[in-house]
Amino acid sequence: MNTQVIIDYLSALSRNNNREWYHANKDDFKNANAEFEKLLQALILEIGTFDGSILHNEPKDLTFKIVRDTRFSHDKSPYNPAFRAHISAKGKLPVPVGYYLMIKPGDQSFLGGGLFADMFKDATRMIRDYIAANGEEWEKIIHEPEFEKYFTVQGTSLKNVPAGYEKEHPQAEYLKFKSWYLEYPLRDEELSNAGAFIAKAAELFRIMKPFNDYLNRALADFQMPTR
């Protein structure tokens, strides 16, 4: 695994974010993408030591395209200069929640977990209901010292507790959320040594696993909307 190939390619794409450059350097993309898939394979094996549900995944099935949908964006750059992947029991689908990795030069890389998508109303309702009924377990997970050392629960949030939930509920602040996720930022230098990076990423994913498990229990009956 050569993570520098990944960083170098994405850095160059960021400086030359146009279709002409991209197609002229397609071989460089293929090489960088191949290194990213090797990184994912090694990461899957490490995560598999504490979460066997993800071991069946093929790296190529977990990645997201770098081509951007610019139809509704002021930014018309055709590419997102980042390699991204979501590793879960059902691959890159947002549910069940799993382990997210984005490599983006300029110290914009991060490790993530939880539910990032806030457009699935059923998922939001299920998690709110589960937190409302299992608040003590929620508090135990998010205030575990090892967890607090690295993570703070983030998410899009309403101003008020939504209708149907107690305004004075002990977890009222989290009942306002529409998504519940974790992010751990990464500096470019942390990606330079692939072996060290994989070990660190796997350890952080291990620490976030109880959080993911809690959300997945809440989402046990969730069905992805059909298109």
For the chain, the structural domain boundaries read 3-218
- With a CB cutoff of 8 Å and minimum separation 6, the contacts of 20 are none
pLDDT at residue 226 in the model: 80
- With a CB cutoff of 8 Å and minimum separation 6, the contacts of 221 are 126
pLDDT at residue 69 in the model: 83
State pLDDT tens for residues 64-120: 999 988 787 788 899 999 999 999 999 999 999 999 999 999 999 999 999 999 999
Question: 3-218, which class in CATH?
Answer: alpha beta
- pTM (2 decimals)? 0.94
With a cut of 50, list the residues of the chain below it in pLDDT. none
